[in-house]
Amino acid sequence: MKQDLGRQLSIRATAYVAGEAVPFFWPMRTFVKRNPLHGLEHLAFEEALAKGADLFRARTFLSRGQYQAYLAGGKVSAESLEHEIAAAIGEAAGEAKNAATLPGIDLGAWVKSLLTGCIDPLSPAVAAKGPDLHAALHGAEIPAAPASREAVEAELLAAFPDDRPLYEAIDALFGTELGERLDGQVIRACLAFFDEGQSVWSMPDRSKGFFTAWRNVAPSGARRVLAEVEAGAPAGTAPGPERVIDHVLSAIGVPSEARPTYLTREMMRLQGWSGFIRWRAQAKRYYWSQEHPGDLVDLLAVRCTLGMALMQGLEGCPVTVPALRDLCAQRPFEMALRRDYHERRVPAPMIRDVQTAVERGKASRLDKVASRYLAERHRAAHRRLAGELQRLGRKTGQLDALMSLGPEDLAALVDLLSRIERREGMIWLRASEATALDTLMGGLTLTPPPPRDKRPFVQAAFCIDVRSERIRRHLEGVGDYQTFGIAGFFGVPASLLELGKGSEKHLCPVLLTPRNLVLEMSAADWSDEAAVTLLDKVMHELKETVISPFVTVEAIGLLFGLDMIGKTLAPQTYHRLRERLDAKKPRTHLILDKLSREQADSIVRAVQRAVIIEAAEHELGLPTEDINDAIVRELREYALKNAEPSPDLAARLKTDEPGLAGFVEQLREVYRINRGVADMQMEHLGRVGFGLEEQVMFVQQALSSIGLSENFSRFVLLVGHGSTSENNAYESSLDCGACGGNDGLSSARILANMANKHTVRRRLAEKGIEIPDDTWFLPAMHNTTTDEIALHDLELLPATHLVYLDRLRVGLASASRLCAQERLPALGFRSDHGCDPRAALRGTQRNAVDWSQVRPEWGLSGNAYFVIGRRDLTRGTSMDGRAFLHSYDYRLDPKRRLLENILTGPLVVGQWINLEHYFSTVDNDRLGAGSKVYQNVTGQFGVMTGNLSDLRTGLPSQTVLNRGQPYHQPLRLTTLIEAPFDHAMRAINGVASVKRLVLNGWIRMVILDPVTGQAHVFDESKWITRPSQIDQTEDLVTR
């Protein structure tokens, strides 16, 4: 028993460790951009990419052709490329066994020619042999040496290690497609179990857990496997998922040391589903996880069972790891031939012969064809290599030198070139980043601005989102506006219970868990829904049943037709019309202050009263006028078991004693008027609001972090951002990542409310931040799809400020139009829209309401930089919407706490966003989400491509690619901190997670010392001082 428990725990621990490499996948309702290789961040960047490429079976760099296009387009400078090539040659020569100088060969020129002038890689598919290459180069016949049995066997064992799923080896050798079939079965099981209300029919017994529920509906092959496991289990117990995994892995013969990687690879085949299940298992408060629990161990048990069932149905194939090894040892040539055939690597001249041999399956014929094939493969590879070398020789003008090399030198040359080619991705990436850094540094200025004679008209704090850079620049250009950058949640982690909603949403980065709850309430009576909104809901519900769509089409299909025509042919006009008909959300207030115990108790009582009245109406059929306060009070006390009912209560309720008892029982059980729930409600209400000191702390932190502690304007805008789009499953990805994938308006309102309170300002003044009485914090919302900025909570604005509103609105509108004009051409709109700002704005507005638009905006594509410093540093330059700009003044942060907060939160979120874009660009099919056109919403939490696929993670192609080519330039995030070197270094060292990211090369870190004017770049594990490129006419003057 103990041994059994020990084994189960061991399996569970192994699965847990194996799952570390699987990135989380959050439900798409609040899209979270994350680094898909987050589980590998403990490794150096280059190493992690190599491992990630293996685990995800994905590319981690762009193709050579795409980098060549960057070189031609100036995104990679020739100098930086040459510099990286020289460094790579030095490293490769140091690693190579035979690193002797090759006479007459300028390796730098060769590598540059290879990378910039050739499309296909040079590295041969087989190990190059000097004498054979020499013969091919000189046109001589390559000797027909038989392939080495040991070499072929070693090649096979390297291709099929013990930690690779066995069915993948079987598929590669026998073309069986087991992997695809297994994935399909597992996906169906996941769809049935994890559905969150999209399906009308779901898997039964889901409350018992994934594996248990699936076991009851498992197909017959899987049931046989489960019966085998059960036979070995203690009597009377159904085998748990751990036992199933252990049984299958033991039966297949996977060695213990290979199991963690084996299980990782299993999960990585469906990394979307695995990531979702992994996230779900640790999200303890997630409703669906509580109702229908399931974790990675369950998933692996289902996978292992189905996999074994599929393999058991095979004939003539090895079904254990030792059997596979034996097969490769006994028949290596045949297996090599089969592998090349099924992996579609057989060249054209031999394809028909190989196909016939493989399909007929006669061992003697296979061996004969295999020997011929391997020899021909060897010869073809050397001929091709010789041809490529000659071509390179001609390009570099060193053909004669090449032809005069002996066999050993030729082998050394190919070895060096192959080593460099293996590092090609990093060469191009580093060259791209160096060019991008030059661009950044060339646009910065340390020259302080002229001193102000008066305060700015408006100060506006925007989210650090890259899309804010453009609007900030234009706003500063149209008037006396001073802008700042701050994380979109304004440093206030809160949960919001919106008006009319039943669940909270977290308005903070997913790394944080908010402790405080804010309630949104309205004075308006919002109980009557507009007819159109109601009709909309009914239509949607009708579509979810099985039979009604057939009838509905006949009956009211025309209505849908009108809708379709309207929003297709005239989306803007139709949208305006629908807006008039739909119910408008009333003006709301936010409850921000902590409730006293009496207030909370009063709220609970009020809710209970309302519920009791509804219950009496519904259950007893009593009209409201018959239910007075006294009756309600008495019923409440009775339900809470605080008092016994009066003798005439039943009569007053027009029922008898049993009826009264039954009704009160209903109140307790169904309507939850009971002590337990009341206590829970009190506890929840205890979360509502922020205490005074908390509010003071948040306001102080927000203002200090952006360097705004004096000289406040009349208006201080807090501008959250969100997006607008139609028919877009990725709508949330365009909203604010710092607000957990929601828009930032509520966060702006929360901080504005706090900062406008006299009590808060009084306390702030004691701490040295004096906000004038005429300063008003105004929340606003930047719509990143249309670039419009809408002001909110204007009813709270003091009357004295109303006269300035018009000027403010005009400025904001001008900035919006200019920003739209700048952005629109990149969205492929006609140039006449792009010339006229008003027309451009109309274009973006149409974009936002067009349901056929797969790209309402480019979002955060193009992000490359994260600048932490004063706005004056970047003010003079256009950063083309590519920079996260976080305001920071080191002089207000002597203890570096603010900088550490920025590094811990916003920078890490920025890094996730950057790497999500990176990997979605380099391999959109494996690491991105593919095209939106083929996607279907799944379970209400994700999308699949087609009707059955892995959950699509990452970003869709329309977000990062343009006509199949990268729009987003995949670069690591270049982070620049404007602070004295020592100050910034200590802050980085003080945040362990960021320090690791920097040391491992996940972030490119630059420290710009405003005192010395020098820039220090962290590269290859050391700090390098760059020659100054920065405009600095005088040293920074202290205030």
Which one, 536 or 925, has the nearer CB to another protein? 925
Return the range that interacts with another protein (CB under 8 A); candidates 32-40, 352-360, 362-370, 464-472: 352-360
CB atoms within 10 A of CB 46: 16
Amino acid letter for position 40: L
Q: Which of residues 468-507 bind another protein (CB under 8 A)?
A: none
Residues in contact with another protein, total (CB under 8 A)?
16
Which one, 344 or 540, has the nearer CB to another protein? 344
Min dist. Cβ of residue 950 to another protein (A): 15
Which one, 285 or 963, has the nearer CB to another protein? 963
Of the residues 128, 222, 336, 346, which one makes contact with another protein according to CB under 8 A: 346
463 marked ligand binding residue? yes
Which one, 351 or 570, has the nearer CB to another protein? 351
Of the residues 108, 131, 184, 347, which one makes contact with another protein according to CB under 8 A: 347
The DSSP result for 481-495, as a single string, is: EEEEEE-TTTT--EE
Tokens of 401: 């030198």
Which one, 91 or 180, has the nearer CB to another protein? 180
Of the residues 73, 349, 502, 623, which one makes contact with another protein according to CB under 8 A: 349
Of the residues 341, 777, 912, 1002, which one makes contact with another protein according to CB under 8 A: 341
Annotate each residue in 60-79 with x if it binds another protein (CB under 8 A) or - if it does not, as one string: ---x-x--------------
Min dist. Cβ of residue 460 to another protein (A): 43
Min dist. Cβ of residue 6 to another protein (A): 45
Which one, 304 or 357, has the nearer CB to another protein? 357
Min dist. Cβ of residue 132 to another protein (A): 22
Return the range that interacts with another protein (CB under 8 A); candidates 199-207, 331-339, 351-359, 656-664: 351-359
Tokens of 484: 């700042």
Which contiguous run of DSSP H or E holds residue 336? helix 332-342
CB atoms within 10 A of CB 40: 22
Angle, CA of 478, 483 and 488, to the nearest 5°: 125
Amino acid letter for position 586: P
Radius of gyration of the chain (CA): 33
317 marked ligand binding residue? no
The DSSP result for 434-458, as a single string, is: HHHHHHHHHH-B-PPPPPPSS--SE
Which one, 98 or 355, has the nearer CB to another protein? 355
Q: Are 440 and 878 in contact (CB under 8 A)?
A: no
378 marked ligand binding residue? no
Min dist. Cβ of residue 160 to another protein (A): 20
Which one, 378 or 467, has the nearer CB to another protein? 378
Backbone angles phi, psi at 833, to 5 degrees: -65, -40
Name the residue among 738, 707, 732 with its Cα closest to residue 893. 707
Min dist. Cβ of residue 350 to another protein (A): 9
Of the residues 7, 42, 345, 762, which one makes contact with another protein according to CB under 8 A: 345
- The upper half-sphere exposure of residue 552, i.e. CA atoms within 13 Å in the direction of its Cβ, equals 15
* 344 sits near another protein (criterion: CB under 8 A): yes
Which one, 370 or 494, has the nearer CB to another protein? 370
| Pairwise CA distance, residues 886 & 868, whole Å | 5
Which one, 351 or 948, has the nearer CB to another protein? 351
884 by DSSP, 3-state: which?
strand
Min dist. Cβ of residue 361 to another protein (A): 14
Q: Which of residues 27-66 bind another protein (CB under 8 A)?
A: 63, 65
Return the range that interacts with another protein (CB under 8 A); candidates 12-20, 100-108, 184-192, 343-351: 343-351
Which one, 341 or 489, has the nearer CB to another protein? 341
Q: CA–CA distance from 578 to each of 153, 533, 562, 574, 844 (Å)? A: 69, 10, 12, 6, 19
The DSSP result for 96-154, as a single string, is: -S--PPPTT--HHHHHHHHHHH-SS--S-SS---HHHHHHHHTTPPPP-PPPPHHHHHH
* 200 sits near another protein (criterion: CB under 8 A): no
Q: Are 463 and 486 in contact (CB under 8 A)?
A: yes
Name the residue among 826, 783, 816, 777 with its Cα closest to residue 797. 777
Of the residues 376, 438, 619, 925, which one makes contact with another protein according to CB under 8 A: 925
Min dist. Cβ of residue 343 to another protein (A): 8
Which contiguous run of DSSP H or E holds residue 657? helix 657-669
Annotate each residue in 353-372 with x if it binds another protein (CB under 8 A) or - if it does not, as one string: -xx-----------------
Backbone angles phi, psi at 1004, to 5 degrees: -90, 115
* Torsion of the alpha carbons at 218, 220, 221 and 222, rounded to the nearest 10: 20
Of the residues 42, 149, 188, 352, which one makes contact with another protein according to CB under 8 A: 352
Return the range that interacts with another protein (CB under 8 A); candidates 337-345, 708-716, 1001-1009, 1020-1028: 337-345
| Pairwise CA distance, residues 259 & 166, whole Å | 12
* 348 sits near another protein (criterion: CB under 8 A): yes
Q: Which residues contact 590 (CB under 8 A, 6 or more apart)?
A: 518, 519, 520, 521, 746, 749, 750, 753
Which one, 360 or 501, has the nearer CB to another protein? 360
Return the range that interacts with another protein (CB under 8 A); candidates 346-354, 522-530, 746-754, 883-891: 346-354
Of the residues 119, 158, 546, 1037, which one makes contact with another protein according to CB under 8 A: 119
Return the range that interacts with another protein (CB under 8 A); candidates 36-44, 349-357, 539-547, 748-756: 349-357
Tokens of 1006: 């630059």
Evaluate the CA torsion angle 260, 998, 972, 485 in order and state its sign: positive
Which one, 138 or 344, has the nearer CB to another protein? 344
| Pairwise CA distance, residues 724 & 732, whole Å | 10
Min dist. Cβ of residue 58 to another protein (A): 10
CB atoms within 10 A of CB 584: 11
Min dist. Cβ of residue 947 to another protein (A): 17
* 922 sits near another protein (criterion: CB under 8 A): no
State the helix-helix crossing angle for 332-342 and 348-360, rounded to 10 degrees: 120
Amino acid letter for position 477: G
Min dist. Cβ of residue 507 to another protein (A): 39
Min dist. Cβ of residue 109 to another protein (A): 24
Q: CA–CA distance from 185 to each of 191, 309, 634 (Å)? A: 10, 11, 58
Q: What is the 3-state secondary structure (H, E, C) of 380-428?
A: HHHHHHHHHHHHHHHHHCCHHHHHCCCHHHHHHHHHHHHHHHHCHHHHH
| Pairwise CA distance, residues 658 & 656, whole Å | 6
Return the range that interacts with another protein (CB under 8 A); candidates 150-158, 348-356, 715-723, 861-869: 348-356
* 116 sits near another protein (criterion: CB under 8 A): no
| Pairwise CA distance, residues 874 & 885, whole Å | 9
Which one, 59 or 782, has the nearer CB to another protein? 59
* 964 sits near another protein (criterion: CB under 8 A): yes
Q: Are 218 and 301 in contact (CB under 8 A)?
A: no
Min dist. Cβ of residue 387 to another protein (A): 15
Min dist. Cβ of residue 587 to another protein (A): 51
Which one, 341 or 981, has the nearer CB to another protein? 341
Name the residue among 492, 504, 509 with its Cα closest to residue 684. 504
By CB atoms closer than 10 A (0-12, 13-18, 19+), residue 207 is: exposed
Min dist. Cβ of residue 852 to another protein (A): 24
Paired strand residues for 777: 716
Annotated binding site for Zn(2+): 463, 465, 721, 736
Interface with another protein (CB under 8 A): 63, 65, 119, 341, 344-349, 351-352, 354-355, 925, 964
Annotated binding site: 463, 465, 721, 736
